[in-house]
Structure 1
């Protein structure tokens, strides 16, 4: 009894495995074509993903020109920034004023008498009140007085200064040391007449006005033995176009709309302050729009082009969606708006070039900047009609539509993805079918191999018997 064949072809002498491999390869042959198609589909999907991003970038650039954000940048300049500095927020109205500074705002400052380093100043309570001085008369402000308790053993000037600072009563405390010893310096946190301070003391030695103990650190009209004033609080005094102004701070934030003015020096001559539209920023925004458009149309041109020299076609060559998008973009850039006096992009130097790209003619655009409102209308005119609206609005609406959830770009990408999925499914079906064919062929060839092996064994047996018969 001949046993089963463990190696294909052992009984017949045929290369069964090689035969089956070749037959299976024929079954799998369509996969090569499908893999090439899958690569093309993936490339298309990637290109459309790039196009979608570029469409979004064009929409963003167009939207900036359709809204105030693209036009409200301003420049602010001072003829003497060392004396009067200034900045202006976007949208600040254009203006020109002259300004002079007669006096800078200052914070009230006081100093104690000099004592030896580490001297115990005495215990008690210091009360800090903010307000204004008029001669020797103090008028308290709206802030609640702040009390600072000084304990015996923790009453050096350094310790007292730290406690005053921790109390956050509207003054800052510093200890100044020199050859004569150390002194306590107090200063209002804010400048201005209304931000002065008074320091009253409840001295534990029972005398709140003498020169010893904590009372030496008082600053009050009724205490001649306390700290001395080194600087009175004062307001800034200036004129704007000859009109006098009075302010507690050297930083003016609400004096002129949209402007922040910093007073740094008393002036001897009028200083010119100018706010005007930032035309360089406007040109940069229009240039960004042109660049975003050119990036998109250049990518579309490359993807749809057929290169006769290399005989190679772009991945989207013949793609109706890409070709149609090219045409729609060019048509839009050649369209008109209902704005005045400019109705076409070419009117302001945004010119169509051979090949469909745009170029900014800076000379012509510079002339258009002379009518900034007309230039802004060319991009931002709202008519409710897509055909006649400003270019910023019409391009933004167009790109939003392309990239919407059910827009052209999304639908196209979804369609390509479905092709990729079907291709993958087909490859799997062919692979599964080839595996089944391989199993069937191996079974058939193994069965044949076993039969041939049996016949060979029978032939050998018969040949042996005939030889024996002949000898007998």
Structure 2
């Protein structure tokens, strides 16, 4: 392979010349790279704006829905006996609850059987229903049959019962005398009791030991200790109520009352539910904080500091400026349906910097009139259009964040601008590569030519020197 070093033949600083000419060809890259950095910064800033607006949408949603204003603080004077929780739309109220009886599942146990011994073959039929004075009334669920093999142990019988989906749970208890089969209804309540009949395959009546029928109280498991299923019995403000579970759901709208133990006579638990002002204040503060975060970012990004001659990342960006102004206009709008017309009426003021400030004392007093505070944030007009501040903010931010909304449209435009910038950089780099190749070819040819001429000149000098010696 030939070794080439441009400039040797001509004596010119060819590499320096080519480097400077190529650098001149790439000079436009400086502006493009600087612009690319600016575009990248804008994309990053809009990504932050999008994240903060998503937080704003979540905060506005809490105040734009009825459910966001139904937060109650509930308590019981005797949590050990009666506890309560909010599980729906509830109202502030108070009432007493007395517990006379807890709901229980039916349970029973068999006589002892030698460990590992077979119980007898045949079929056990399990039915769910209610017992009343020794009479069984079957429920709506179909009876379930369990086939017991001649070699099946008590543990295997229990497994078959549990796999049958009969609504009866089986457990084997081991003690010094052997093994016992314990049965319990899966659910509490009088209607979740069970009856078990045994059909033996042979004259061996061992399987009958697992039957349960109160009509034959001396046979099978009915002859042993048992607990029939029973409903919970309670009184609410003296009115008797029953439940198949140890919970009252629907008795008081929006509240679930858990019955934990029987109360003494004249010792009912007092239940009170009041508006949770702390939760309401927290939701409003989150709304304020979310707005301030966006406003601060937009303000910093679009400002120009005349003292330091520095500009924000989005200074002069019409989209960012318009976004800040639009969000502020949503806040300054009022609600015609409330005695509170503006945020300042409830203690939330708009500062010169565009941020919101909460007067805690004034807001707390305003929340005593919860309905009107709620209307300020959630009110809608007769056409269903949002006039409440939170409802309008949620709608505006939701539209801005939608697939073809303001934010995505802007970030898509910046992404396209970035792509065009990179394409221009690629074109300049490729053009510089072609130019460098052309320059090297030209200077190599020149170098060769200059080298040839230099060799000829040297030859002529030698000849002239020889001629002069002869003289």
**So what's the TM-score if we normalise by structure 2?**
0.87
- Partner of residue 186 from structure 1, selected from 166, 183, 186: 183
> Which of 338-347 and 399-408 deviates more?
399-408
Residues 73 and 90 in structure 1, CA contact (< 8 A), matched pair in contact too? no
Instruction: Give 1:93 shift.
Output: 3.4
In structure 2, what is the Cα distance between the partners aligned to 1:179 and 1:461? 125
Distance 1:280 1:452, change over 3 A: same
Instruction: Give 1:91 shift.
Output: 1.6
1:237 aligns with 2:233: yes
1:99 aligns with 2:97: yes
Residues 74 and 276 in structure 1, CA contact (< 8 A), matched pair in contact too? yes
Q: What is residue 262 of structure 2 aligned with on the other side?
A: 266
SS at match of 2:220: coil
Q: Deviations over 1:360-410 (max 9, x none)?
A: 222111111111111111111123799981111222333244345554434
Q: What is residue 169 of structure 1 aligned with on the other side?
A: 166
Distance 1:216 1:394, change over 3 A: closer
Distance 1:11 1:270, change over 3 A: same
Instruction: Give 1:5 shift.
Output: 10
1:202 aligns with 2:195: no
Distance 1:112 1:365, change over 3 A: same
> Which of 282-291 and 443-452 deviates more?
443-452
Distance 1:216 1:307, change over 3 A: same
Residues 378 and 386 in structure 2, CA contact (< 8 A), matched pair in contact too? no
In structure 2, what is the Cα distance between the partners aligned to 1:254 and 1:49? 46
Residues 120 and 204 in structure 2, CA contact (< 8 A), matched pair in contact too? no
SS at match of 1:252: strand
In structure 2, what is the Cα distance between the partners aligned to 1:153 and 1:386? 72
Q: Deviations over 1:52-91 (max 9, x none)?
A: 3323332332233222242233333222121112222132
Residues 232 and 246 in structure 2, CA contact (< 8 A), matched pair in contact too? yes
Residues 130 and 170 in structure 1, CA contact (< 8 A), matched pair in contact too? yes
> Which of 461-470 and 239-248 deviates more?
461-470
1:246 aligns with 2:239: no
Distance 1:115 1:437, change over 3 A: closer
> Which of 32-41 and 224-233 deviates more?
224-233
Q: What is residue 314 of structure 1 aligned with on the other side?
A: 312
1:406-421 aligned at under 5 Å gives the runs: 406-421=404-419
In structure 2, what is the Cα distance between the partners aligned to 1:302 and 1:72? 37
Q: What is residue 208 of structure 2 aligned with on the other side?
A: 215
Q: What is residue 226 of structure 1 aligned with on the other side?
A: 220
User: Where in structure 2 are there 5+ consecutive unaligned residues?
Assistant: none
Residues 83 and 259 in structure 2, CA contact (< 8 A), matched pair in contact too? yes
Q: What is residue 256 of structure 1 aligned with on the other side?
A: 252
Question: What is the number of residues matched between the two proteins?
Answer: 464
> Which of 17-26 and 293-302 deviates more?
17-26
Instruction: Give 1:343 shift.
Output: 0.9
In structure 2, what is the Cα distance between the partners aligned to 1:165 and 1:346? 64
> Which of 319-328 and 351-360 deviates more?
319-328
Instruction: Give 1:94 shift.
Output: 3.3
In structure 1, what is the Cα distance between the partners aligned to 2:452 and 2:200? 127
User: Where in structure 1 are there 5+ consecutive unaligned residues?
Assistant: none
Q: What is residue 69 of structure 2 aligned with on the other side?
A: 71
> Which of 240-249 and 371-380 deviates more?
240-249
1:296-335 aligned at under 5 Å gives the runs: 296-307=294-305, 310-335=308-333
Q: Deviations over 1:425-455 (max 9, x none)?
A: 3333333333343344334433443343333
Distance 1:177 1:393, change over 3 A: closer
Residues 62 and 396 in structure 1, CA contact (< 8 A), matched pair in contact too? yes
**So what's the TM-score if we normalise by structure 1?**
0.87
SS at match of 1:9: coil
Q: What is residue 11 of structure 2 aligned with on the other side?
A: 13
Distance 1:50 1:456, change over 3 A: same
Q: What is residue 293 of structure 1 aligned with on the other side?
A: 291
Residues 231 and 243 in structure 2, CA contact (< 8 A), matched pair in contact too? yes
Instruction: Give 1:19 shift.
Output: 1.5
In structure 2, what is the Cα distance between the partners aligned to 1:103 and 1:380? 44
- Partner of residue 23 from structure 1, selected from 12, 21, 41: 21
1:424 aligns with 2:422: yes
1:118-197 aligned at under 5 Å gives the runs: 118=116, 120-154=118-152, 156-197=153-194
